[in-house]
Amino acid sequence: METKKSIIPYLFIAFILLYVTLDSIFIYISKNSYNGIITENAYQKGVDYNRVIKENEAQKKLGWIGNLRYYLVGKNLVELDFTLFDKKYRPVKDAEVEVRIMRPVTDKYDTVVKLEEISSGRYSNKVQLPLQGQWEIKLKASLKKNEFFLNRRITISDKEE
């Protein structure tokens, strides 16, 4: 009686080789297409979470009201317009307003811009962005020891929406 060799061990080895090959391809793609963690000091930011919560509570107590608008005034040229009022709806004058503008997917185009006070409680400046698409805006307004934070995501496009 003749024993027939089974094909199953060869199929098993072929499956393992296919699996290893595909995993190697996925690892290569992921290593070469990701530029790393964008958040600097991610561990420290995690540790400081309670401080951030306290800052948010202090901002709520302060009662300031801020509104950020943006206008496309040229090819990727954006005018940022920010108004700031106290809890009695009086303009907040002489504040230092700083805006950090970032792409959500890379830190290559991050920029910081100071907004100038153009009238009582109104701050503005123009920013030339290198690309269209989504941008993350982190605004910080400071007056003495009081701080107001505002985060917003905007989309810049030549097309009418």
CATH class assigned to 64-156: mainly beta
Domain ranges of the chain: 64-156
36 band by pLDDT with thresholds 50, 70 and 90: low
Q: What is the pLDDT of residue 12?
A: 94
Tens digits of residue pLDDT in 90-117: 999 999 999 999 998 888 899 999 999 9
pTM: 0.68
Q: What is the pLDDT of residue 49?
A: 87
Q: How far, in Å, CA of 75 to CA of 55, rounded?
A: 37
Taking the alpha carbons of 39, 45, 50, 52 in that order, is the dihedral positive or negative? negative
**50: how many CB neighbours lie within 10 A of its CB?**
8
